Amino acid sequence: MAEHDTLAQRLGIILTKLNGGQRLSITSLAEEFNVSERTIQRDLNVRLAYLPLQREGQHYSLDPSYFGRSNTSALLRLCEQVGATALFPDNHQSLFSQWLAPSGSPVFFLSGFNLDSESQQHQHLKPLAKAITHRCRVSIQWQGGLGTAVIAPYLLINHKGCWHLAGVSTDTLIIEPIANIIHVEELAETFMQQEDVIVQLKRMVANESMPVVEVILKAAACIAHNFLHRIVLPQQAMLKELDDGSLLLSSHVIDVMQLLPTIKAYLPHLLVISPTTLQAQLKRDVKVLLSQL
Q: For 229-262, how does the pLDDT look when each residue is reduced to its tens digit (9 = 90+)?
A: 888 888 889 999 999 999 999 998 777 777 888 8
User: 174 pLDDT band (50/70/90 cuts)?
Assistant: confident
Q: What is the largest CA-CA distance in the chain?
A: 66
Highest-confidence range of 17-21, 30-34, 81-85, by mean pLDDT? Answer: 30-34
CB-based contact 273:216 (threshold 8 Å):
yes
What pLDDT shows up at residue 147?
78
Domain ranges (residues) in the chain: 1-88, 104-210, 213-291
Residue 76 reports pLDDT greater than 60: no
What CATH number labels 1-88?
1.10.10.10
Q: What is the mean pLDDT of residues 178-186?
A: 88
* Dist CA 249 CA 269 (whole Å): 13
* Dist CA 124 CA 57 (whole Å): 40
Which stretches of 46-107 are assigned E, i.e. beta strand? 53-56, 59-62
pTM: 0.50
* Dist CA 96 CA 81 (whole Å): 13
Topology of the domain covering 104-210: SH3 type barrels. (2.30.30)
Higher pLDDT: 4 or 25? It is 25
Where helices occur in the chain by DSSP H, the ranges are: 3-19, 26-33, 37-42, 73-81, 93-100, 125-134, 195-206, 224-228, 260-265, 276-291
* Dist CA 209 CA 170 (whole Å): 20
The set of residues, in sequence order, having a beta carbon less than 8 Å from that of 27 and lying 6+ positions away, is: 37, 58
